Chain A
């Protein structure tokens, strides 16, 4: 963290209100993967006009830009355990690791019908059993993976 962190009791409710806004506006689940999917799907069909999901993704990207401009730089430097573990020329390994992780994230989220925002926030807020099962599974898996990596690198 390079900057003072917004308190959880402000950040959480703001994200929750975004979920409510999307339900009120579109009767839909808020989901960032839905945005990726909309853009990739349209481009694949040779179209460039996106519905609100694509523009939502654009907003999430530009929100990072707005923050970096106001705060005078990005929120962090390096890249977590990867740049702590791989130094010098070994850093070239980080690229394929992140690329493969990204493929797993994108494919897995689509298969599960949502990522941390689509299933984790929006789906659990509707008490959807599918979303609750998916959220428990991805949190559990990510926790196990994190502890496994910690055991290997330390």
Chain B
């Protein structure tokens, strides 16, 4: 219960910021990808910097996660073919729609009718992937990363 409320809360902050910064606007994304505007790159770099410093501090302090019973870890992953192929497929869709999953969900909340098509597409794409019975690529917690297709863990 606490975990779900916390997820909702972080999502709300993330979502309001996506709208307010204009990252949900296809024109802002397109201007960035055409190098007409540096806003997205500056925002992205500052976000990664703050996140990197914060995570490094958490690890140095050897903290335990607040809502799951686990030490905070940070396991770098080695690149595999799927990372490059998947990212290329993703980048193709992103360059056409000028929105990625966060902004797409955010546009739906704003009441942008066109985004219902992209949103439906993302749901179909994720469904097609899950149907292939692949191991979880984005687990709810890295601490108990299950082997390929283990039983669904209880919701955090």
Contacts and interface: CB of A to CB of B under 8 A. Distances in A.
Contacts of B11: 35, 55-63
B146 to A, nearest CB: 13
B26 A8 contact: no
A34 B140 CA distance: 8
B126 A33 contact: yes
24 contacts: A12-B42, A12-B43, A15-B17, A16-B51, A21-B10, A23-B74, A27-B142, A36-B123, A40-B130, A53-B140, A61-B11, A68-B111, A75-B25, A101-B118, A104-B96, A105-B90, A106-B101, A107-B125, A110-B125, A111-B90, A131-B83, A133-B84, A137-B88, A143-B95
Contact-residue size bin, chain B (C-beta under 8 Å from the other chain) = 35 or more
Contacts of A90: none
DSSP majority for the B interface?
helix
Given A67-B16, A106-B124, A134 B106 contact: no
Contacts, number: 518
A129 B84 CA distance: 11
Interface in A5-55: 5-6, 8-9, 11-38, 40-42, 44-45, 49-55
Interface of B: 3-30, 33-35, 39, 42-52, 54-55, 58, 63, 65-68, 70-80, 82-98, 100-102, 104-112, 114-115, 117-130, 134, 137-143, 152-153, 155-156
A142 B135 CA distance: 27
A138 B138 contact: no
A8 B39 contact: yes
A5 B114 contact: no
A14 B13 contact: yes
DSSP majority for the A interface?
helix
Contacts of A30: 10, 14
